[in-house]
Chains A and B, each alone.
Chain A
């Protein structure tokens, strides 16, 4: 995986042609997850790093949390 950017505890990675946001999904414990996002969303996250948080929330609203790292 290649790290593209990091902003406020959220990291954007690219692995082959897939993009992932890595974030701490734990409550009191640290529980890092990789959430696959689209290339368009990755582009938005690069252009506006603050948007990464909302991208993750939007996936959470759909019941998608990503995979444990």
Chain B
């Protein structure tokens, strides 16, 4: 099943619509709703749209209308514009602030052993959002996977939460990252499952700590 961040079949170029019901904006803590379509597996429908009304409003206020989204998404990865060209500095700084305030984190199935991420950067979540998801899922890993749009079973039995303390290059995704695939990537700093995301430069050993969830 295709989930958040999972590459599409190369033969299928289906945009995405009617996405998920998870509200995970920074101001409204994310919650897990049983049966909510938070993953990506079921959202490849017709066009890429903001995942929630709240996010759509934020985008609209920035002039990031559906037409603009369509235009950005349609560009080849090598020609994707920097977010600074279509989002205000206030929006960008506000988006980044939640990462600065609550931490830059990733959740992984195992302990990291070296540099996290590669050329083009690595996607990260904000600490408060991940904490809220874990709490609202009562630590149920399958629900966490679902809320994050991960493949079922991806996180294993005891996921590792990595906090990158000494990060650099915190930025909104541009869409040219290796993990930003055209059928799934949405401009504006949210996954199509509604998870707030950012990109940082690869995190070397010594810049991060990690702990098991259990």
Contact = CB atoms under 8 A, between A and B. Distances in A.
A65 B181 contact: yes
Nearest to A68: B7
Nearest to B179: A27
A10 B117 CA distance: 9
A26 B13 CA distance: 17
B151 A29 contact: yes
Contacts, number: 96
A61 B76 contact: yes
Interface stretch (B43-51, B60-68, B118-126): B118-126
A9 B117 contact: yes
B4 A24 contact: no
A7 interface: yes
B171 interface: no
Given A28-B195, A29-B4, A9 B118 contact: yes
Contacts of A27: 4-5, 123, 179-181, 184-185, 191, 197
A8 B195 CA distance: 26
25 contacts: A23-B178, A24-B117, A24-B118, A25-B181, A26-B5, A26-B123, A28-B124, A28-B148, A28-B149, A29-B3, A29-B4, A29-B154, A30-B109, A33-B7, A50-B119, A53-B120, A53-B178, A56-B178, A57-B77, A57-B176, A60-B76, A60-B178, A60-B182, A65-B181, A66-B7
Interface of A: 7-10, 23-31, 33, 50, 52-54, 56-58, 60-61, 63-66, 68
Given A27-B123, A60-B182, 19 more contacts: A7-B119, A8-B118, A9-B115, A9-B118, A24-B118, A25-B178, A27-B180, A27-B185, A27-B191, A28-B148, A28-B197, A29-B154, A30-B108, A53-B119, A53-B120, A56-B178, A60-B77, A61-B77, A66-B7
